[in-house]
Amino acid sequence: MSSNRPVFAMIAGETSGDLLGADLICGLKKIFPDAVFEGIGGPKMQAEGLHSLFDMERLSVMGLIEPLKRLPELLRIRRAIVGRYRSAPPRVFIGIDSPDFNTNIELKLRRSGVKTVHYVSPSVWAWRQGRIKTIKKAVDLMLTLLPFEADFYKQHEVPVCFVGHPLASQIPLHPDALSAKRTLGLDAHPPILCVMPGSRAGEVKLLAELFLTVAEQIGNSLGGLQIVIPAANHARYDQLKEILSRYEGLNVRLLLQQSHLAMESADAILLASGTTALEAMLFKKPMVVSYRLGALTYALVSPFIKTPFVSIPNLLAGEMLVPELIQNDATVEALVAAVNDALNSDKKQDLIARFDSIHESLAIDSGTIGAEAIAKLLAS
């Protein structure tokens, strides 16, 4: 690594983190125009100049069983990262989400004298609140997407900065569904359901067939339904294409990426819980949030969950704005009923008004605010 140019080490483990990392790099380049960015990231971070040492897809695992299967590889990557940055310390190490992977690296590097930042709060306010002790030891600064997360860290005396979410600035307050339909070549009728079963292989394996069966039943009952599915990357596209071969009667448009166009065009969205729920909210869409974990993983983690909601819209609102059907509640029958309600809701305008208010609260210049907070840390 160059001794003259400041090196910013960054690791993102999945698609949502890649978007956040790219936005943060843009902000950092304004303050540190000579900076070098390296670590692990996806196409968006690489487009902003990050040199990725490993394929980001290798970190995109879920639950408890899948990481165990990949444990030797994950440990090898982690050892390589720690070894590299202990021997040639960067100006700062920034872990973006993926706390099970990044927190250990942050802990070891901070003990070696490297400044550490974690971007996207682990859900310590929701479950495993004991992790706050480890986080205090691991990070010099926490950057949070949501305002109530920053309040939690202040209560526990962890340096924190609320940065909002870059998507809230990138997605217009009033999306143009008609234009999105035209761009994708979709018809105004019958209704359009956007189906989003996740960006990781394990999520798609657990949710895609469930979601497609729901869409199939709704299409049969309505006499027609247009289904649009944006695949997060080439690997998910191939995985979904194989699954769709078993649903030949469906009117499906499978897209490579283009998730924003797909959501903007939709009348309702059926999605896997995660950042996608935030995006659906920003596009002002009625949605149904669902998720399934492996039975063993769910049995182990469910006793530790400390919040009544799992989706970002409901957490931000402090009430159940959108239905959540998780694990055993995620049956075909329950999902069909919830999606039908979303497609035919007579309270859509009330929902949009609430979404507008939340959208405005998050629409701050996340990349610049995060970069300025990091610059302040480095100057201290």
For residue 301, give the amino acid letter: V
Question: pLDDT of 324-350, one tens digit each?
Answer: 998 889 999 999 999 999 999 788 899
Residue whose pair of structure tokens reads 């283009």 in the numeric block: 258
DSSP code of residue 344: T
Rounded alpha-carbon distances, angstroms, from residue 184 to 11, 102, 171, 199, 226: 33, 38, 18, 21, 12
- Closest CA relative to residue 99, chosen from 135, 75, 66: 135
DSSP code of residue 57: G
Question: Nearest-5° angle of CA 115, CA 145, CA 59?
Answer: 65
Mean pLDDT of 181-192: 93
- Token pair belonging to 353: 């008004």
First to last CA, the chain: 24
Can you give the pLDDT at residue 62? 53
* pLDDT for residue 300 is more than 80: no
Question: Which of 104-118, 124-138, 359-373 shows the lowest per-residue confidence on average (mean pLDDT)?
Answer: 124-138
Scored b (16 or more CB within 10 A) or e, 296-308 reads ebbeeeeeeeeee
Check if the beta carbon of residue 295 is closer than 8 Å to that of residue 270.
no
CB atoms within 10 A of CB 29: 17
* pLDDT for residue 128 is more than 60: no
CA distance 157 to 287: 36
- Closest CA relative to residue 332, chosen from 245, 244, 254, 217: 217
Give the torsion through C-alpha atoms of 342, 203, 13, 241, to 10 deg: -90
Mean pLDDT of 15-24: 94
2 band by pLDDT with thresholds 50, 70 and 90: very low
Report residue 305: phi and psi, to 5°: -75, 125
61 band by pLDDT with thresholds 50, 70 and 90: low
Q: Of all residues in the chain, what percent carry a pLDDT higher than 70?
A: 92
Question: pLDDT of 37-55, one tens digit each?
Answer: 999 999 999 999 999 999 9
Give all domains of the chain, ordered by start, each with its CATH number.
Answer: 7-164+364-379 (3.40.50.2000), 177-362 (3.40.50.2000)
267 band by pLDDT with thresholds 50, 70 and 90: very high
CA distance 358 to 346: 21
124 band by pLDDT with thresholds 50, 70 and 90: low
Question: pLDDT of 136-149, one tens digit each?
Answer: 999 999 999 988 88
Question: pLDDT of 73-83, one tens digit each?
Answer: 889 999 999 99
Mean pLDDT of 351-365: 93
Can you give the pLDDT at residue 304? 56
Question: pLDDT of 209-242, one tens digit each?
Answer: 999 999 999 999 998 899 999 999 999 999 999 9
- Beta-ladder partners of 192: 226
Q: Which residues contact 25 (CB under 8 A, 6 or more apart)?
A: 8, 10, 37, 45, 48, 49, 50, 367
Q: Helices then strands (H, E): number in the chain?
A: 18, 13
Sheet with 92-96: list strands edge to edge. Answer: 51-52, 36-40, 7-12, 92-96, 116-119, 141-144, 160-162
* pLDDT for residue 295 is more than 80: no
Mean pLDDT of 249-276: 94
Q: What is the pTM of this model?
A: 0.79
Question: pLDDT of 140-173, one tens digit each?
Answer: 999 999 888 898 899 999 999 999 999 999 999 9
Q: Of all residues in the chain, what percent carry a pLDDT higher than 90?
A: 72
Can you give the pLDDT at residue 71? 83
Can you give the pLDDT at residue 57? 84
Can you give the pLDDT at residue 132? 86
Q: Which residues contact 287 (CB under 8 A, 6 or more apart)?
A: 268, 269, 270, 271, 277, 280, 281, 313, 322, 342
* pLDDT for residue 306 is more than 50: yes
Give the torsion through C-alpha atoms of 282, 319, 328, 236, to 10 deg: 10
